[in-house]
Structure 1
Amino acid sequence: MTSDIQITDSHCHLDFPDFDEERDAVIARAIEAGVTRMVTICTKLPGLPKVQAISEAHDEIFHTFGVHPMSAAEHPPVTVDQLVALSKHPKFVGIGETGLDYHYTAETAEVQKTSLRIHCAAAAEAGLPLIIHARAADEDMARILAEEHANAAFDCVMHCFSSSAELGRAALDLGFYLSMSGIAAFPKSQELRDIFATAPLDRILVETDSPYLAPPPYRGKRNEPGYTVHTAKVGAEVFGIDYAEFARATQANFDRLFAKAAAWPKRNAA
């Protein structure tokens, strides 16, 4: 490993065909850059075997499953029991991504809301964090998360957070986390960086959402987990601390939220 500073990519999509030709090399580059853990996210049930196989093949990789809101109307809905059963896999560490996306798929809003509530209930029952995708649906998102959390508490991360300050505050008030993606490193994202700067450092994660949203200096190219470092360095600037301190803080945050992943080395070594 070139870097002695360790960091985690809390959200990527290593199963996507963008990586099929060099997946092992991409993972090796991430580890070399100091990205010691990656959470690869499955968004459609038929893709779970591939995602699970990637996770099982690499100690550094964990996986989750949830129905992406943009796909919620395309397949039969999953049930709470299904999600909880899938969560029993030793490297399954979170429920999602789920959420609401009214930017592209507003016509399926009611289906998305139902799916979101199912995932919230599953996260509470499984004792695993919920992973939320939110776009152009801030009021409904804040309301549903608050209602479901009051009904049965769960932990949660607002993945690739780029929503309003109001939704950010609502999430933080529920004890949730905000995840910083490459969007936060874009030159025109000062307003978003200002929102992150008002959040407690102990509620911040970093991610790539690769293969999407590559941060500078790779913007416009395929993203990959190793580029987490570039977003994290911007995060350090946002909080006015050095990169090593920011990395330590986000590692501790990840360990707290994704406790099942944090416990993996002990269990694996046993």
Structure 2
Amino acid sequence: MQKVYEKEDITLFQGDCIEILNKATPESIDMIFADPPYMLSNGGITCQAGKVVSVNKGKWDKSKGFDEDFEFHQNWINACKRVLKPNGTIWISGTYHSIYACGFALQKAGFKILNDICWFKPNASPNMSCRYFTASHETLLWAKLDNGTKHTFNYEMMKNGDWSEDFIKKPEKQMRSVWAIGTPKPYEKEFGKHPTQKPLELLRRIILASTNKGDLILDPFTGSSTTGIMALELGRKFIGIDLEKEYLDLSIKRFEQVFSKKEKQWQ
């Protein structure tokens, strides 16, 4: 375990999230957002920006077979359970390659699933094989410990907030479980791009829905730290963990840019 960055309320660690979380303070985290490996790097191809590219992301994204993959999901979810406050919640993002295993592992660990959110991507990549439907959504699971405690859900903000980017959300109507949010905008990839980078708008909604100012958020697979960037902008504390130095370096550049902008605003 190595702490690679610490500034104000932002901390980044490099290492195995299971090992790090098993040494962390129990019941200390208000909310977890996890985007675990999809186990999708199988030698296939896809289309990005009009170019045919490989779907391979790295060794960390390769499947080791159903049983070993499921054991991995159980282990990191149990490690997250250990550090989550009794009234905290966890979000998990994934495609059909991984999300069902994560959902089963959550329930085996004693979590109650509150919602499954369909994140619809209006600008999703096309299907190159033309042998099945184009994958244009990811599933988000939102869960809490099944212990009778009351979790944070900022209902009024979800109902009456400014969600103008989402053509599905109607003003002054309840937030539904299908969200139309595009993939990351070019400026979000200014310093480089993580292969499964999430859009800032997605994390804005998740953080505003399920946390309050000053809360501590954890991302055990932080990648380029979109979760942390939005946590910082919204006045939350953040801990991010990742195995790959390349993505942590990218995270640090993004954080330094935000801190620099904040400093200029106060000058």
Please report the TM-score for the alignment, with normalisation by the length of structure 2.
Answer: 0.38
Choose between structure 1 and 2: higher helix proportion: 1
Structure number with larger C-alpha Rg: 2
The structure whose RCO (Cα within 8 Å, separation 6+) is larger is 2
